[in-house]
Structure 1
């Protein structure tokens, strides 16, 4: 039933071997830069490549400040702290996301509230957000958004750019502002994606990126905060154990976090970032190839939202129903072509089953139908 799709994928990668969902490509200065860190002996939290990686990412994204961290979840944890999220607070997010989004909320002692997504973006719906707030919340005299039932504070709104497809940022910013919510962007999957010509992660109070091994570019692990100069300075301080500058004394004025990105990882990131535009062009060609291959068939390719440019981190299709989804997953994986379903909804996980939620009918529809297809940058000459 899916023979043509399997053949297409194998043609893209020019192999009959196992094809992973998303593998890194190291075709530039990776070995050179990593060797430089080894020769310098500055392989840990101090070194020139950390500064360079941050500055290069500022230039690429247009963010006033970029702060590197050991992984994307650490970046999101600090982002929520900087947004004022405190123990007992609520943070509105989407149930259709990777678990790290919710875990970062929990690290702050807060709880997620799950609101539905839009089918065209796969991300948090501003219409569903507004409807839930009108039904469940109010803004007090001090401008705090509170839950009607028990007065708990709703502190932030945390959308995630699913598979690199930007959410409806203008509308989400408008709703968040009117309801007194800080907008924090989980842009872990969307490096290279733009909304109306501007890079994701630069619209809200803070945005965060991930450089895990399966992302468009990788540092092995790694993450980044994108924010203002002032919040960036605070983020740098908190992620470097809250140590006060001093030639030799160890003075830490508050609880800090050892979330620093090692120099050896940053070296890898600098080399990867030099190739990002090449990677993005190849991934776009692959996405359009999938779209052409699937046109007119049962599987509906997931395109970038109108007015956006997606990095197409993970290509996705919507199946007709759960049965077709499972048949696709079985047929491809048995033949050595890795495909994966979208995540189990967060409100179904034991850690978050008790959390507040709105109507999640669109998220549930997508959960039963979405499948990710192999999305690595194809070898040169195979596309």
Structure 2
């Protein structure tokens, strides 16, 4: 079976060379737009392409506003600050995620609380969240959610749309609404994914995107905060070193960050965005072809949740156990086809081992079984 999968991947990518997991493709106006920024000399964080990229992402996602940042982690950091996360607070998140999700919490001086995921979404489980809150949290007289053990405020919930598959947002919105908890969607992996017709990152209080080199479209490095008008204005202020507008004076009125996306990166993003729909169409076709290829095998292909449209950023299979997972990874990589396991659970990492957590049965089960397959768009 493994060799049939290798043959399928090689036939799809039309190569006998090494097949990476998700390489970027530059097949449009990338070079022209980047050269344009160089000739204009506006290559830093002020320039027409930054404004254009923000406006086009806002229009594409249906978000009132979008604020570009230097990377997705910076977007998460500022988004958490915007909803009031402060030192000593708690933020509920999932253990099955990329480390940037948790690092952004730590940058705020807050502590993550790990709650289990659902197997069918790979993302934070509303049921597990509700059960944890009922057992370990309470609402104070002012309606703030607090952890029973130390009365610390649980300020936010940070779900991540794993591999582009939307989490159960209706369930999370309901639970968090009952407990007065803000939702920041980590939509880093899900540009082009929708939940019941709405783009991921637009159903919570705030959302964030990533344009790292391995994402569906890339700016080399880059991120975006999806927000309403008021929060977007504040996001732009914080990401521009909290500098107040003035023709020549340097006036900074609070702690800010040098987090704005450079114009030269935004130029790359504008060109990539022109190809997004074609990339999504190809990626969804690849997912369908993988599913057909694996039909009848003992590998379970991960499909989009019901009512959702996934970008299938990274295709994934669920193996029978960790032994089969390890064998699949070894055979494919030994034959020049890159596959990899899902992330190690965050609560196992040394800096997060002491963080509170609930029962993580599903997260552990998935950690032992999930393997990512090559998922990039074919070069032109």
TM-score interval for Structure 1 and Structure 2 normalised by the shorter chain? over 0.9
Is contact 2:188–2:208 with CA below 8 Å preserved after alignment?
A: yes
CA distance in 1: counterparts of 2:142 and 2:129, whole angstroms: 21
CA distance in 2: counterparts of 1:209 and 1:254, whole angstroms: 25
**SS in structure 1 at match of 2:25:** coil
Is contact 2:88–2:110 with CA below 8 Å preserved after alignment?
A: yes
What is the CA-CA distance between 1:235 and the residue it aligns to? 0.1
Is contact 2:345–2:367 with CA below 8 Å preserved after alignment?
A: yes
**SS in structure 1 at match of 2:23:** coil
CA distance in 2: counterparts of 1:333 and 1:353, whole angstroms: 31
Q: Equivalent residue for 2:170?
A: 170
**SS in structure 1 at match of 2:230:** helix
Q: Equivalent residue for 1:214?
A: 214
Is contact 2:25–2:378 with CA below 8 Å preserved after alignment?
A: no
What is the CA-CA distance between 1:150 and the residue it aligns to? 1.1
CA distance in 2: counterparts of 1:339 and 1:40, whole angstroms: 41
What is the CA-CA distance between 1:260 and the residue it aligns to? 0.6
Does residue 249 of structure 1 match 2:258? Answer: no
Is contact 2:29–2:271 with CA below 8 Å preserved after alignment?
A: yes
CA distance in 2: counterparts of 1:208 and 1:135, whole angstroms: 30
Q: Equivalent residue for 1:101?
A: 101
What is the CA-CA distance between 1:107 and the residue it aligns to? 0.1
Residue deviations 1:243-284 (CA, integer Å, cap 9, x gap): 000111110011110001000000000000010000000000
Write out aligned runs for 1:265-344 (5 A): 265-344=265-344
CA distance in 1: counterparts of 2:34 and 2:224, whole angstroms: 19
What is the CA-CA distance between 1:42 and the residue it aligns to? 0.4
Give the TM-score of the pair, scaled to structure 2: 0.99
Residue deviations 1:341-377 (CA, integer Å, cap 9, x gap): 0000000000000000000000000000000000001
CA distance in 2: counterparts of 1:359 and 1:153, whole angstroms: 21
Q: Equivalent residue for 1:120?
A: 120
CA distance in 1: counterparts of 2:257 and 2:25, whole angstroms: 31
**SS in structure 2 at match of 1:57:** helix
**SS in structure 1 at match of 2:176:** helix
Does residue 197 of structure 1 match 2:203? Answer: no
Residue deviations 1:30-52 (CA, integer Å, cap 9, x gap): 00000000000000111000000
CA distance in 1: counterparts of 2:377 and 2:105, whole angstroms: 32
**SS in structure 1 at match of 2:338:** coil
Q: Equivalent residue for 2:8?
A: 8
What is the CA-CA distance between 1:379 and the residue it aligns to? 3.9
Q: Equivalent residue for 1:53?
A: 53
Q: Equivalent residue for 1:232?
A: 232
**SS in structure 2 at match of 1:155:** strand
**SS in structure 1 at match of 2:311:** coil
**SS in structure 2 at match of 1:85:** coil
CA distance in 2: counterparts of 1:273 and 1:144, whole angstroms: 40
Q: Equivalent residue for 1:356?
A: 356
CA distance in 2: counterparts of 1:312 and 1:345, whole angstroms: 21
What is the CA-CA distance between 1:149 and the residue it aligns to? 1.3
Runs of 4 or more above 6 Å deviation: none
**SS in structure 2 at match of 1:325:** helix
Give the TM-score of the pair, scaled to structure 1: 0.99
Ranges in structure 2 where 5+ consecutive residues have no aligned partner: none
Cα-Cα RMSD: 0.6
**SS in structure 2 at match of 1:68:** strand
